[in-house]
Amino acid sequence: MVTTQSLREGMVSVDKERILIVDDEPLVLDLVASYASHIGFEATTARNGKEALERLKSELITILITDIKMPEMDGFELMKAVRSEFPDIHIMVMTAHGASYTFTDVVECGATDYIPKPFTLDEMRAKLNRIVREKGLLRDLKQKSLELEKVNEDLKRLDNLKSIFVSSVSHELRTPLTVIKEFISLMLEGHGGTLTEDQREYLGIAHKNILRLTNLIDTLLDFSRIESGKGLQLKFEPARLVEVVEDASMTLSQSLEEKRIALENRLDPEMPQVLIDRNRLVEVLINLINNGIKFTPTGGKITIDTKGLTEKRDYLKMVVSDTGIGIPPEDLPKVFDRFYQGHSTGVSMGSGLGLAITKEIIEGHRGTIQAESRLGSGTTFIFTLPLLGVNNIFQLLVEPMLEESEKDEIPFSMLRIKFWDPKMKREVVLSHDSWGSVKYALQKMVRSVDIIVPFPSSLIYLFSFIDHKLAREIGERVEVKLTQGGYVPKGTEVQFTTYSFPQDCESKEEFLKGCHQLIKME
């Protein structure tokens, strides 16, 4: 005998669950409604699809049980309408034995389950309990998703506040540190009077630690940008590696002198120029040289050299090696991880971010970096840098700026400046001094965000987020400034050509093709 208790055994919670049963046979309607009521659900009925839709619009229904073959609107049409208007309602289909449709057919129309006729009370209870459990799981999942979204929003807000805080504090610290550093430098140079040996030593210690603190602030700012997903901003320009290495070595000259470590620069002064962010590459070299200083015993040596070109001959291989204690094999894969620090005793550890940021900078140049080491035999860092060439100008400058132009819907222009001898009817190759003067004059005439690329011939390219009209105005000002200001040899004409996106072309592809025709190496 079926009792109320036996009916409810194994049931899950059915609070607020209301079932709509749809069938054109009154006996089936009454039977299923009776089953649902016995199990503990509140049930209501409809004789066809149209009547069911009216009920759904006027009553709160959470589960729909429907037959397929009905007059006026069959079950398939009903399910499609319900899925469109009431997507959260769970649908169970009552299927007849030998029906021409399959379970796949009803699922494609929006059903979440089915039950074949005839069915028993226990079968109906099992099906409904499963639906309720699934609804509960979905409800919990939605709740957890909402909670997770809120947590993510809170984390984003906190991360943004952290970035603002780091930027603000860094700025507030950098200004007084710069002043202190400059005055200590002046005192060390004797501008404040003759110093005793003790005074020079104390000021030297202060100067060294100010540099350390300045580098730490820069590192924190870089790390904050990387963590926020903004990445490091790079401004590419042609540069000579010998000069970049000299900048880095001067910064670390005192640290090298204190440990009597020799820095050997084997770079060829006549080697080709590279296309780099000069300040960022100085940072890379400082990090790598400083790493060598930390882990190289007194009297050791750090060497900077090249190792040829990459396979495509468009990137230069750079090598920074030391005669230090080396890195254990198990630690070698982790040296570029954030917060990784060596385990050597007696060595002053840094933030653990230097090599991680170094890797970010090199990869920002679309290069690679790797470390090689043997315990007791020193460490070698090998990284690649882009040579100044047409392909790298397009990959690192033109294409990224063009993408930004299209995304932000702002114009982008290229300005080519050429120096011409009208008597000889040929381009003029400027002297080294004239090149320096011309570049200096141009830098004073353009914005800091504009990119100037002088080629080692008679051409200069300017890339800027400006329209065609403004590009021509700048070209005219450059022509007058360089000619009348005495920046070029007498009788030399300054000629310019502009090419703008989207005014001078119909697509990005057309713009790139036009740029390729204007940019050339000689």
Per-residue confidence (pLDDT) for residue 2, from 0 to 100? 34
d(CA 327, CA 373): 6
d(CA 495, CA 479): 7
Is the four-CA dihedral 504, 505, 506, 512 of positive or negative sign?
negative
Q: pLDDT by residue for the chain (522 residues), tens digit each?
A: 333 343 334 444 445 688 999 999 999 899 899 888 888 888 999 998 999 999 999 998 989 999 988 888 888 999 999 998 998 899 999 887 666 677 788 888 888 888 888 888 888 888 888 888 888 888 889 899 999 999 988 888 887 777 777 777 777 777 788 888 888 888 888 888 888 888 888 888 888 788 778 777 777 777 777 776 667 788 899 999 999 999 899 888 888 998 999 999 999 988 999 999 998 999 899 999 999 999 999 999 999 999 999 989 999 999 999 999 998 888 898 999 887 776 555 555 566 788 988 999 999 999 999 999 988 889 999 999 999 999 999 999 999 999 999 999 999 999 999 999 999 888 888 887 888 888 888 888 888 778 988 876 678 899 999 999 999 999 999 999 999 988 988 889 999 999 999 999 989 999 999 999 888 654
**How many separate helices (H) and strands (E) can be counted in the chain?**
16, 17
What type of residue is 13? S
What type of residue is 306? T
Taking 3-state DSSP, the helix, strand and coil percentages for the chain, each rounded to the nearest 5, stand at 50, 20, 35
Q: Which two tokens stand for residue 252?
A: 């670390």
Cα end-to-end distance, the chain, whole Å? 100
Entry pTM = 0.63
Is the four-CA dihedral 337, 343, 347, 349 of positive or negative sign?
positive
Classify residue 387 by its DSSP letter. Answer: B
d(CA 502, CA 402): 10
Per-residue confidence (pLDDT) for residue 97, from 0 to 100? 64
CB 34 within 8 A of CB 65: no
Q: What is the DSSP string of 113-126?
A: EEEESS--HHHHHH
d(CA 482, CA 426): 18
Residues near 176 by Cβ (< 8 Å), separated by ≥ 6?
none
Residue 236 exposure: Cα atoms within 13 Å on the Cβ side:
28
b or e along 286-317 (b: 16 or more beta carbons within 10 Å of the residue's beta carbon)?
Answer: bbbbbbbbbbbeeebebbbeeeeebeeebbbb
Please, which residues bridge with residue 442 across strands?
none
Helix axes 399-408, 508-518, angle to 10 degrees: 150
Per-residue confidence (pLDDT) for residue 501, from 0 to 100? 95
Pick from 459, 445, 433: nearest CA to 518: 459
Residue length, the chain?
522
